Structure 1
Amino acid sequence: MEQFLIDNPWVIAVLILWTLPWKGWALWKAAKNDDKPWFIVMLLVNALAILEIFYIFIFSKRKETK
């Protein structure tokens, strides 16, 4: 895997370009909803935007409906 990333540095760029908008949107929603635990977890954990997508489309909706 390491050799693959060394031979194909564009993969890292694609992953960064995929992750940054999702992370920014999710962190913004968490801050807006006053979800400090979610904000901290999403800030520290990098899961290729999977956690952020779940937060945006599932968990933040629960806050908005309350």
Structure 2
Amino acid sequence: MRGNWEIMEAAMGGWWTVLMLIIVADVILRGMGMWRAARKGQQGWFVAMLVINSVGILPVVYMLFFEKKGKK
């Protein structure tokens, strides 16, 4: 009899790898966005990135368009 892990792996096939890559990318992007928002005192963006799960989209939007430019 096959174990639960083997059944799940067979059912998901290659999607398991894609899912793990998306999760890793989301954690990295969220961390970068939250770090930058915290350092620049933008509490609203920090909380939004903490609460809203956007698969990395919200942190990228913040870093590209809404991050206050200035001294680092």
| TM-score of the two chains, using structure 2 as the length reference | 0.71
Give the secondary structure class of the aligned counterpart of 2:19: helix
| SS of 1:24 mapped into structure 2 | helix
Greater C-alpha Rg: 2
Unmatched segments (≥5 aa) in structure 1: 1-5
Q: Give matches, 1:7-46, under 5 Å.
A: 7=12, 8-46=15-53
Identity score, percent: 28
Q: Which runs of 4+ in 1 moved over 2 A?
A: none
2:51 partner letter: L
- Partners of 2:52 and 2:19 in 1: how far apart? 17
> RMSD in angstroms over aligned alpha carbons?
1.3
Q: Are positions 1:64 and 2:69 aligned together?
A: yes
Q: Deviations over 1:16-50 (max 9, x none)?
A: 12111111110000001101111001011111111
Q: How many residues align?
A: 58
Match of 2:54 in 1: 47
- Runs of 5+ consecutive residues of structure 2 not aligned to the other structure: 1-10
